[in-house]
Amino acid sequence: MSTETIIQMQHVNKEYQMGDVTVRALRDLNLDIAAGELIVLLGPSGSGKTTTLNVIGGLDRPTAGHILVAGDDITGYNSKKLTQYRRQKMGFVFQFFNLIPTLTASENVEFALALVEKDGKRLQDKARDLLQMVGLNDRGDHFPSQLSGGEQQRVAIARALANQPPVILCDEPTGNLDVETGQRVLQVMRDLNHQRNTTVVLVTHNSVIARMADRVVRLHNGSIADISENVHPAPVSELSW
């Protein structure tokens, strides 16, 4: 892990209008994330962790404040620039995997790769390599409906890695998996964080998972309640919930 800051959140606020009520999802949030860091955002439901992830990922815009990613302020980006940003800088892993059901595992990865790579042969080779990396080299021709939940999530991780983004954002990646499968998915995260120096921001409400992080940010009611550092992050194999 380097000490270079890749994400800076400065006085970020996010408000939603729900009927007549204004919900303040984020309140003056300030957070720096270092490149190559594995950080866990922890908190109960409604604490603002997914909103934090969404504004970092460019899926949503803050109401006030600034978010700098690799020095660029993304809060001023228009829709087109945000699309480019997501394509090049961010990888997403969702709780419900969000695979395209009509594409095979390999094609799901190719779909993301095709946004930057046009050569068909290279596309297939890269997709195969990525699936191999997540331990699914023999499942490339299977459709999502023919894969287990854990396998689907690993395909989603391979897809997130397709364009070698410096940051991977994971929203409850194990939320829909059993413990063993969840461990396998987390191991993949840890490995790519270590081996590729990819920054991983992981949202969870499961405090056990926080033990594997370099840093844990506890959110409460849209604000940071506490930030703690794990000097010795726990190996994934030791996590159980």
Partner 1 sequence: MNILWRKTIRDLRAAKAQSIALVIIVALGVASLIAMAGAYRDLSTSYQHTYDQLHFADVSFTVQAAPATVVDDIVALPDVSAVTGRLVVDSGYILPDNEPIRSRLIGVSPQHMPDVNAVHLSAGRFLSPDDTRAAVVEAHFAKYYGLQVGDQVTPIINGHKTPLTIVGIASSPEYLVVSASKQDIMPSPRTFAVLFVSLPELQKMVGAEGQINNLNLLVAKGSDRASVIDKVKGILQPYGLSEILTSEEVPSQAALQIDLDGFRESANVMAFLMMFVAAMAMYAMLSRLIWSQRPQIGLMKALGYSDRTVMIHFLAFTLLIALAGSLLGIALGLPLAHATTSAYATELGIPLVQSKIYPDLILTGVIMSLIFAVLAGISPALASARMAPASAMRVDPSTALANGRISVIERWIRVPLGVRMPLRDVFRMPRRSLTTALGIILSFVLLLVGLGMMDSMNYMLSRNFQTIERWDGLVLFNAPQPESVLTQVKAIAGVKEVEATLQLPVRLHAGDKEENALLVALPSDSNLHVLQLPAGVTPASALQDDQLVLTTYLAKKLNLSPGDTLTVKSPLGDHDFTYSAATDEMSGGVVYAAYDTIQKMSGLPVPVLNSLYLTLDAMKVKDAKQALYHVPGVASVQIKQDVEKDWQGMMGLFYAFVAVIFIFAFVMAFALLFNAMTINVLERQREFATMRAIGTGGGHIARLVQLEIVLMWLVTLIPGLAIGWWANVRFVATFDSELFIFVPYIKPATFALTAFVILLTMVLSAIPAIRHINRLDLAEATKMIT
Distance CA 97, CA 157 (A): 9
Minimum CB separation from partner 1 for residue 228, in Å? Answer: 27
The nearest distance, CB 100 to partner 1, in angstroms, is 5
Rounded least distance, CB 68 to partner 1, Å: 20
Tally of CA atoms within 13 A in the half-sphere of 33 that contains its CB: 31
CB of 59 to partner 1, least distance (A): 4
Which CB sits closer to partner 1, 5 or 94? Answer: 94
Q: Tell me, what amino acid is at 240?
A: S
- H-helix or E-strand containing 178? none
Contacts of 66 (CB under 8 A, 6+ apart): 8, 9, 10, 11, 12, 73, 75
Which regions of the chain does DSSP assign to beta strands (E)?
A: 5-18, 21-34, 38-42, 64-69, 72-73, 90-93, 167-171, 199-204, 215-220, 223-229
Residues that bind partner 1 (CB under 8 A): 50-51, 54, 57, 59-60, 79-80, 83-88, 90-92, 94-104, 107, 110-112, 114-115, 120, 123, 143-145, 149, 152, 159-160, 163, 176
Distance between CA atoms of 217 and 236, rounded to whole angstroms?
Answer: 19
Q: Which of 229, 217, 135, 231 is nearest to 183 (CA)?
A: 135
Q: Can you tell me the distance from the alpha carbon of 92 to that of 108, in angstroms, rounded to the nearest whole number?
A: 13
Least Å from the CB of residue 233 to partner 1: 28
CB of 90 to partner 1, least distance (A): 8
